[in-house]
Amino acid sequence: EAQVTQNPRYLITVTGKKLTVTCSQNMNHEYMSWYRQDPGLGLRQIYYSMNVEVTDKGDVPEGYKVSRKEKRNFPLILESPSPNQTSLYFCASSWDSGNTIYFGEGSWLTVV
Amino acid sequence: QKEVEQNSGPLSVPEGAIASLNCTYSDRGSQSFFWYRQYSGKSPELIMSIYSNGDKEDGRFTAQLNKASQYVSLLIRDSQPSDSATYLCAGVSEYGNKLVFGAGTILRVKS
């Protein structure tokens, strides 16, 4: 079954404690991206990757890091989380940015 | 200015009516557009994609694209309560490197 898997699905953490949200896809897609979704603001892109070792900033990259060492994985790293990073996060993949995007189930992150 | 604009709603329609959802975009170079449906707390799911001017129909859904007016719409015929959700419009940027989403329109279909 084609899918994008992200973990954890739910997390409550404290300010400043580094965390990583993992993302893995089994469709051999080249394009992967991370979005955050906040009420009234819709989906905003954090980072995207067009292939292995190729990453670039989206619209709201501050406070986040990513890496793409393998085609299937695209982890999102919060080095020092702050309360304004409390949000619903989605990982997504596609053949390229102009094709159908497949979303993971979302990760609810709360930073206190 | 947001690159993809949608009326946040909520748009309320009675069951069986036609729901009309609208979206405008500012990037004249955008070529591909998508409509996603998102239920509360769930991930977005693709309903329609449209790349050319005109209409594209798929079952009860019709997407319309007018590049001259920079306007995309989604019509839902015979609306059902199960269509109640947030509808996200998205367009691919001119350089083809990212998909930009609107904030979404909440649709409520009342039985």
Residue of B nearest to A98 (CA): B92
| A6-32 average pLDDT score | 96
- Chain A positions touching B101 (Cβ under 8 A) are 35, 42-44
The mean predicted confidence, pLDDT, of chain A is 94
Residues 6+ apart with CB under 8 A from A14: A81, A111, A112
Mean pLDDT value across chain B: 92
* Number of other CB atoms surrounding residue A86 within 10 Å: 16
Q: How big is the A-B interface in CB pairs under 8 Å?
A: 52
Confidence of residue B93 (pLDDT cuts 50, 70, 90): confident
Residue type, B65: L
Cβ proximity of A48 and A55 under 8 Å: yes
Distance of residue B84 Cα from the nearest chain A Cα, in angstroms: 17
CA distance A58 to A44: 8
Res B28: pLDDT:
85
Distance from the Cα of A16 to chain B's closest Cα (Å) equals: 26
Which tens digits make up the pLDDT trace of B65-90?
A: 999 999 999 999 999 999 999 999 99
